[in-house]
Structure 1
Amino acid sequence: MARRRDSMAVKDVTDSTFTEETKDGLVVAEFGAPWCGPCKMIAPVLEEIDEEDNQISVVQLNVDENPETAQKHSVMSIPTLLFLKDGEVVDQAVGFQPKEEIMATAQKHV
C-alpha cells in the first residue's frame, strides 16, 4: 500500500505514531538524529526512494526525541534502517547505505 505525500520530505514518526505508520505494506524506517553526519548523507537517498518507488514508504524517527521505539527495536547505532513488512521487521541495515543496496534489500520483501 503506497502512501503518496504532497511534500518532498520523508515522513517523521514518533514513539506514538511509529506502529500506525509502519503497519501496512513495506516501510523503510530510518532511525537517526539531526546531528548525525551519516544520517544527513542518507537523507537524500531515502527521499529519492520515497518519491520514486510507490511500493515502498519511507519514515524517519529521531532517536533523541523518541527513545522508546529505538530501544524496543534494539537500535544501538545510527543511522539504522529497519525494513518492515506489514508491521514486522524483516531486515535491517546499519550505517550509510547506497541507494542500490537499500533498494536491493527492499525488493526482497516487496
Structure 2
Amino acid sequence: MAVIELTRETFASEVLAEKRMVVVDFWASYCMPCRMLIPVLEEASTARSDVKFCKINVDDAQDIAERYGVMSMPILIFFKNGEPVDESIGLITKDELLAILEKNK
C-alpha cells in the first residue's frame, strides 16, 4: 500500500473521517530526517495493510500542523477514529513504528 500525499483539502476526508488507524507524517522537503523516514513508511505500509499511511507537507498546510502542535520534524501522529492517540518525534525504524502501531491497536 502506498503512502498517501495529503493536502489541506484532503486531510479531513482521509484522516478525520477514517475509522481505522491512520499514521500521518508531518514533514518538509528541506528536513533530511524527514526524507530518511519516507522509505520506513513505505515499508511499514506494505507490512500493515490494515493501517493507512499518509504524509503532509507542513509548508503547504501550516494551519493543520499548528492545530496538532507540530514543533519539530519529522513527527508521526497516529489517529484512530479521527482523533490523535499517539505520536513519535524524530527518525524511527520500521520495527519501532510497527511496535507503536501494535501498542495502539
TM over 0.5: yes
Note if 1:21 corresponds to 2:14. Answer: yes
Q: What SS class does the counterpart of residue 16 from structure 1 fall into?
A: helix
Question: Which blocks of at least 5 consecutive residues in structure 1 are unaligned?
Answer: none
Structure 2: unaligned runs, 5 residues or longer: none
* Structure ranking higher in helix proportion: 2
Is 1:12 the counterpart of 2:5 in the alignment? yes
4+ residue segments displaced more than 4 Å? none
1:45 is the counterpart of 2:51: no
Hey, what's the Cα distance between the residues in 1 that align with 2:57 and 2:37?
A: 14
CA deviation vs aligned residue, 1:26-84 (integer Å, no higher than 9, x gap)? 01100001111001111000001112211111000000011111010010001010011
CA RMSD of aligned residues (A): 1.1
CA distance in 2, matches of 1:63, 1:15: 10
The answer to whether the 8 Å contact 1:15/1:67 transfers is no
TM-score, length of structure 2 as denominator length: 0.92
TM-score, with structure 1 as normaliser: 0.88
Which residue identity lines up with residue 69 of structure 1 in the other structure?
I
How many aligned residue pairs are there? 103
Identity among equivalent pairs (%): 38
Measure how far apart 1:24 and its partner are. 2.3
CA distance in 1, matches of 2:4, 2:64: 16
Counterpart in 2 of 1:60?
55
Equivalent residue in structure 1 for 2:87, among 84, 92, 103: 92
